[in-house]
Each structure stands twice: as structure tokens, then as C-alpha cells.
Amino acid sequence: MDIILQNGTETEMNRDGIVLLAKKSGPTSFGAIGSIKKALETTKAGHTGTLDSFAQGLLVVCTGRLTKLAGYITAFDKQYSAVIKFGEETDTLEYNGNIIKKTACPKPQTLSDAVEKFMGTLMQTPPLFSAIHVNGKRSSDIARDGKTVELPERKITVYNSNIKDTVLNDDNTVAYALIDFSVSKGTYIRSLARDIAISCGSSAHLIGLYRTKVGNFSIEDAAGYNEIKNFTIDSAIEQMNLQKKITKEHSTENKNHKNDEKLKNEILSSMQCFTPELSISCGFTNLYLKDEKADIDFCNGKPLRSAFFGADLHDFKNETIFAVFKEKTFRGLFTKDADGRLHHNFIIN
């Protein structure tokens, strides 16, 4: 079904955009984007890829009428820094879980060899505690009910990995490691840490995760970036202990209204309109409506034709998503599917 978003007022259009947000460790991704909704005075905001509550870093958020874009720009490669604790595996593969395995920690060279081994195209089993749906129910919800399910392996790519720092035990084994990863969409760093540890004859879980890049979007450009601490092994341990204390005491950190106002201003000043240049960064193919009549026909949801754009749509590959513009004004998305059929995704006018 076509989605046609019509009659946007000037106020509504001022809320249409993409915001880069630096999420802190603690809140869920859904909770974190509340600051964007508050700043823009809108209920419409959706992120393009979740971060676990214990993790921090970059969220790419679509706002206003562009919220419909979120589901179409999730196929980005991503970059992370991860702090891994060796010698213990938890059921969630991060520090909030229950310990289910204890082993010896790996030697530094053994870890280095394993990290190098886990590069390229791999098959990965996602964590049981994840948002993957099984028979209409989240895998994490099934796990919390005390049940287990077999999650199918998925193909991922680890483009690069680099051990940045380690902390050693007295016996010269690795207690903690800080590792940078560059990976494809759908890669779980928690699972990667688990599998690297198993390859070392050890076990592991994450105590810190920091997403630094999503496609061409970087954390340095995100609202709230200056409130994110330097990510190190020590800072991850400190943050983990703080979050455990907050959870145990059922308390929340004191609100800093000055920082709230600062974040609001950063959100307002950094929101990006969906321009043709940004569209290309998101992986779409741009098309331009050739005249006023084509604009009216497209925005009224009429069947898609090459004549709208002055370009032969048959020349484009199947499974292409097109972003449509009237000059520099975004009008919507449509798809050429695997069979070459054309479908409106949504329309903004």
C-alpha cells in the first residue's frame, strides 16, 4: 500500500530531518530518542538501528514525516569499539546477564591470532537475548521465559578488527581487551566476542560497547558527543559499576537541566534536511521530477512512469530504491523490485 504524507504545515516540515544522537550507556535506544522528541516537540522519531541499553554511541534518527525513512536506511556498515572481559560467559553475552560458563583467560598471542582469524565473511549465530523474532515473538522474550530456541546462523562480514589495548592478569593472560571492529549490517559484537573467546579456548562477555560510525555518519557529528567520555577499558569498567549500582538502588542519575538545554540546542542546530547529497550517503539512487505536472502526478500516487523523470526506469537494476526530488525537495521513495516492478514506498507532499 502506498503511504502518502500530505499537507505538511511549515511547523511539521521543520521537524522533518535526520538527527545524529550520541546515546549514553544506560537508557534504551527508544528512551534515548526522547530527547529528540522533546527538542523538536514531536512524537515522530525513529532510529535506524538499535543499540543495547548497556552500549553507547551513535544513533541515526529520522524525525517528523521522515520517520518512514528509518526502515529503509538500516543496511549500513558499522564501526564499534568493544571492551571484552575474558574468563566468563553470560547468558546475555554482556555484564547484565547471569554467568553460565567460567574458563581460563587466553594468552595475548592466542587472542591476537583469534581476532585475525575472525575477519572476512563468516557465519554467525545471533545472541539468544536479541530482538530477532521467532514465530512472532522476540528471542529475548522467549529467553526470559526460561526457554531456548535455535537461531539460524547468518552471513556477516568483519572488514577489520584491531586490538587497541589489553589488561593482563598476574599469569600474563588477558583479563580485558579493547578491540575496534568494522562490520556489516546484522553483525552482533556480543556474538563476535563469544566466538573469538571460544576460538581461544576461553569464554567472554562485553562490559562496554561504543558505536562510532554508521555508514557515512560519524559519532563526532552527533548531538551530545561531548558528553560521552573517552572510551577505554577503565572507563568501561567504571561505567559498568555505575550502571550496576543504579540498577541495584533502583535510582536514576540526577538530572542536569543545563545539560538538557545544551543537548536540545545541539539537536536543533544539527538536524539535517534530507538533501540529494544525504540521500546518496544513505545508499539511495536519486531521481528528479522533470516538471510541475510530474510532481503533481507523483505526489498523487499515480503509477510510476519514466516520463516523470526524463529517465528510462528500465535502465536501472532491479532491487533499487529510488529517492525522488523536486529540485532539492524530497518527495518520497519508490522501489524497483526483484521482478522489475515499480512500487511506491511512501510519498511526502
Q: Which of 2, 16, 52, 180 is catalytic?
A: 52
- 273 Cα distance to chain centroid: 20
Tell me which amino acid residue 274 is: F
Residue 284 CB burial class (10 angstroms; 0-12, 13-18, ≥19): buried
Tell me which amino acid residue 124 is: Q
**141 belongs to the catalytic site:** no
Strand partners, 71: none
SS (H, E, C) 313-327: HHHCCCCEEEEEEEC
Detail the DSSP E strand segments found in the chain: 4-5, 17-23, 45-47, 56-63, 78-86, 88-90, 99-102, 120-124, 133-134, 137-138, 154-168, 174-183, 204-214, 217-218, 285-288, 320-326, 329-336, 342-348
Residue 9 CB burial class (10 angstroms; 0-12, 13-18, ≥19): exposed
DSSP state of 221: G
Cell of 180: 575496534
Nearest 5°: phi and psi at 305?
-140, 150
Catalytic residues: 52
